[in-house]
Amino acid sequence: MLGLLFQSHLTATLLVSVLGAVLGPLQIGYHTGNVNAPARIIEEFFNSTWRARHNQSMSDHSLTLLWSLSVSIKDFGALLGSLGVKHLADSYGRRNSILIANCLSVAAACIMFASKASGSFEVLILGRLVFGLFCGLVMSLNQLYIQEVSPTNLRGAFATLNQVSLASGILIGMVAGLETTLGTKSNWAMMLSLSLIPALTQYLVLPFCPESPRYLLMNQGEERKAETALLRLRGHADKVSSELEEMKDEAAHTLTRVTVQDFLRKRSYRQPILIVLLVNLGSQLSGFNAVIINYSTKMFQAKFDEAKYLTLGVGVVNVTFTLVAFFFMERAGRRKLLLIGFLSIGVCNFLMTIVDSVLHLVPELQSLQVLLVFCVVSAYELGPGPISWFIAAELFDQPGRPIAMALTSMVNWGGKFVLALLFPPLLKICGAYVYLIFTAVALLAFAVTWLRLPETKGRTFDDIAEEFRGAEGIPLHNSSGFNTF
């Protein structure tokens, strides 16, 4: 990986552009991880607020429903926010759209902070909804920007930094939410507002970074501006001229604009749409988000006294394996990492079914259950976690890419939202056998990846798009002999 960085003559502008962009996912991760540990304290705030208004405490059932709404409303907001990806990206550019979306994060942090002072749990729920709109926009806008400013041989690795930032944010949120730090009765509101730090930092950094050269040339027709942006990003005139010619060649045989109707009707988009749908659904519905992020503390709590610190261990493993994915993305490729990830998740879920089924008979297996949770985290972050967010940007050409990324965001956040709602009742109905559902989904995603997904490592956008344009449903083989469709 370091060799690739040196070969690419990595410029300070490119590095700052990518790091400035990934401050968005850091905020998302923070608000994913910080609500788990202090849940009871915030629930007590809900109850005391209700008691002050109605002179009676809220029922346990109502309190649980209200807390579930507070947690899942972020994912619902993200589902709504993803609908605006194409309009923002095409109307204002990739970089400027990220800055516009960041306003929502700043507003959400201020609203959540005000909830305690105002004595209103509705304000907290509103703040998480607004933050959800930010999530739905920025996870796709970021990938568009990073993919389009990065050189081909570093595109996947830099896109993986999005997931590294997200996982780091989750870990920071977990630490901030502990009672020994800020997850206390007096400090929880301030804890929720700390995402203002990366949000405001982004406003100090990203405005000085160049806009996507591909957007300037292929969407705006601004060749001089595109050349200037490329020169800042690459630092060498010879690299700029060759990359500019490549963009012109691609622009010559692609449409300038694609509507949603065109996107759904175009034959060359059908295979990529199928791949994006099934890879992203496989990533979200293989059980990672429900078991690991939302319910890991509750699961561990039944077995261990120090449940919150075990959950913190999950966060550490999460970050570690996103870094592993970063270093292996341009060596192993997207396809191989996805196959390893989905197969490992399927096997771990199957083993978790067995362990949970006999745990009451063999309590000593509780340590194995925790180990399997860590293995699921590792497998997810090695491939499905980071790749599912950026694979659409590589499979589609310039006019179709914003809609494809909006689709990615909708499927990812929609999957999280549905799973957060369905997992508790499914667990009650199916018990340990709920993990068999996750096993089946993971194995289906493995099969689709094996049979349909081409390797995109080291290939230009036009080269990948040409494969789909030329095939029109005819099976092809890549250089390694695997079916690409």
Q: Which of 202-216, 324-338, 351-365, 418-432 has the lowest mean pLDDT?
A: 418-432
Specify the range with the lowest mean pLDDT, choosing from 252-261, 267-276, 299-308, 399-408: 299-308
Say how far apart CA 405 and CA 370 lie, in whole Å: 34
Rg (CA), the chain: 23
Question: What does the block give as tokens for 193?
Answer: 């507002």
Instruction: Decide if 167 contacts 340 (C-beta within 8 A).
Output: no
Given a cut of 50, whether residue 381 has pLDDT beyond it is: yes
Measured between alpha carbons, how far is 452 from 485 in angstroms, rounded to an integer? 4
d(CA 298, CA 291): 10
> Phi first, then psi: what are they for 477, rounded to 5°?
-125, 140
What is the DSSP secondary structure assignment for residue 219, as one 8-state letter?
I
Beta-carbon-side half-sphere exposure of residue 80 (alpha carbons within 13 Å): 12
Lowest mean pLDDT segment, chosen from 24-33, 52-61, 86-95, 324-333: 52-61
Task: Please compute the mean of the pLDDT values over residues 146-153 and round it to a whole number.
Answer: 94
What pLDDT score was predicted for residue 298?
56
Residue 297 pLDDT class (50, 70, 90 cuts): low
Instruction: List, for residues 421-477, the tens digit of each pLDDT value.
Output: 777 788 788 888 888 999 999 999 999 999 999 999 999 998 898 888 764 443 434
Domains of the chain: 10-209 (1.20.1250.20), 256-477 (1.20.1250.20)
Q: What is the largest CA-CA distance in the chain?
A: 74
pLDDT of residue 484: 38
